[in-house]
Amino acid sequence: MSTSVRKEKSLTPLAHGALNHCFGCGLENRTGLRLHFFTDEHNNVVCHLRLAARFAGPPGHAHGGIIATLLDEAMSKSNRARGILAMTRHMEVEYLRPVPLGVPLTLTAQHTGATGRRNHTEAQLADASGVVLATGKAVFVTVTPEMLKARQ
């Protein structure tokens, strides 16, 4: 993965489905991140955000679990952008630099390939100048809505 993020040309809003209470993207979850995702001209996912003080870990910086959540959420949306409903099977996070709170950040993700039901993804979290602060790689397993309902 590169150490900077390229600026996007045009973005299209990505519908996130009916997950209204999802911690990452659910608009009805008052304590969640309430992230808004877009796709670029290559169908990669983009999200512009600022992390509130309630997501603190070290003073003035984001908690590592929140950083992992951001990366996971973006990678999940990179599947959704391709019409794939999938759940995280395995994820790796590399924390490169502390992530400051209250400043503009850009979260990007891309679907990098698939083998059967396994979907491979990568994500980056960068500051406003494009410096990558954290990266993630994950494998998601395709599921059906029926599989999810059967587990409720």
Contact 125, 134 (CB under 8 A): yes
Mean pLDDT to the nearest integer, 107-121: 97
Query: Would you state the pLDDT for residue 4?
Result: 42
> Residue 4: inside a domain, yes or no?
no
> Residue 110: inside a domain, yes or no?
yes
Look at the chain and report how many structural domains it folds into. 1
Quickly count: other Cβ atoms within 10 Å of residue 93's Cβ: 20
What domain range includes position 18? 12-150
> In the block, which residue shows the tokens 């998601």?
140
Burial of 122 (0-12, 13-18, 19+ CB in 10 A): buried
Higher pLDDT, 77 or 19: 77
In the numeric block, which tokens belong to residue 35?
A: 């992230």
Share of the chain above pLDDT 70, in %: 90
Query: Would you state the pLDDT for residue 57?
Result: 96
Nearest CA-CA partner of 60 in 24, 8, 100: 100
> Residue 6: inside a domain, yes or no?
no
> Residue 34: inside a domain, yes or no?
yes
Query: Would you state the pLDDT for residue 16?
Result: 62
> Residue 1: inside a domain, yes or no?
no
Going by pLDDT thresholds of 50, 70 and 90, the confidence category of residue 18 is: low
Tens of pLDDT, residue by residue over 21-44, are 777 777 777 877 878 899 999 999
> Residue 87: inside a domain, yes or no?
yes
Question: The whole model's pTM is what?
Answer: 0.88
Mean pLDDT to the nearest integer, 93-115: 98
- Report the CATH number at residue 47: 3.10.129.10
Mean pLDDT to the nearest integer, 99-114: 98
> Residue 2: inside a domain, yes or no?
no
Query: CA–CA distance from 24 to each of 10, 19, 30 (Å)?
Result: 23, 9, 11
> Residue 131: inside a domain, yes or no?
yes
